[in-house]
Structure 1
Amino acid sequence: MIQSIQDYENWRDRQYDLPEPDSTTPDEHATYAYSHDYPDDTKLEYVRDGEHAELRLSFTSEDPDTGVEEMLLGSDNGESLPELASDLRADISSYLDAQDTSSFFEQQGIPQAPGDRAAQWDDFTRTALYAFEAILKDVERGMDTQLTWKPIESDKRDWLYSARDKQDAERSCIGHLRGDFGRDDNEFWTSWFDHQIGLKTVSFRDEL
């Protein structure tokens, strides 16, 4: 039971000295929301795990008969979010432009030369495609200012946690230092945790 500040600080210190938990966090993950017909009706999610990258789009219509329309683009070439968003937006825009041109020719009764049509887009309503095009453009414009959180690289992740004695010896890990800024963020307190006390020489202490 925590009955004093000292008890709390001891408990808190122990939390920082736990072994590394199992993690299945992807290498990169970003989400966006966009308002096309009504607030946040269009969603975009990007996930990359190693070389496999996925871009998932969804549009929720006000029409209950239409419901949610989803589009998934996957790749095993490790493309970044800007790359996938740009390529998909170009494909959708090209299809929509062709559809608009085709409608004009049909309305005017003008013969049109046969051309390739992206049949995969025919399963989506025009409203959903315009919503997808809009959020992809928004993502492309905002990439310079949008903050994307990335987990630490897997080969460095174990440095965030206390390792086994054998690993500490292999890496010559002397110890780790924990610091915080106190209760009002205007203080600075530190705690030191030994891993291999035999390596904590005078010169190391002086430099630290």
Structure 2
Amino acid sequence: MTKQDKPENRKRSGVTRRGFFKRASFTVASAAIVDSGLINTKEAAAAPSNFVGPGRTPIQLRINGMERRVEVEPHNTLAEVLRFKLGLTGTKVVCDRGSCSACTVWLDSTPVCSCMMLVIDVGVRAITTIEGLAKGENLHPVQSAFIEYDAMQCGYCTPGMVMSCAALLARNSNPTLEDVQAATSGNLCRCGTYPKVFEATLAAAKSIQRGRS
């Protein structure tokens, strides 16, 4: 064996035996899939895509009775768009994972955590935020009662609490204490103002009943 023939003196080609067989197997498999008709490249290129993204996409939202157009990315949550793109900062983002309900808004009158919903999933449903609860200068009875009964402390949970309580009164104008407790069971108040929230909501219910009589 000459000096050039020794294994340690041979130049490596950069392709190992294992690497060669891996590449060869992948090429053969790819060709077989295309030839079998499992992938039709022409049809795949011509087929319309229902996906939104990956970049910014213009959408239209119905918020507080108004049509709003905004450019969003597929990963944007409803809470992010309301606060940071549309300036509706009454919707608070506290936990950002659906455990405190401070970001509660209504979708077609149903309370939802807006931090847990992608904005592209809203579709044509009507969005109501805390800014849209009042009628001009006239506060919603729940808002007025929260002020009267001092049902606020730090204020972070207040918009979500108000939206949950107002949704309850929209479907049940004569709730019991247990009804109010159930309606706000997902709303976290670190200041512990629950008794005042319950008191204010029951008072708002009576106010609504008087207004209807």
TM range (shorter): under 0.3
Which has the greater radius of gyration?
Answer: 2
What TM-score, normalized to structure 1?
0.24
What TM-score, normalized to structure 2?
0.24
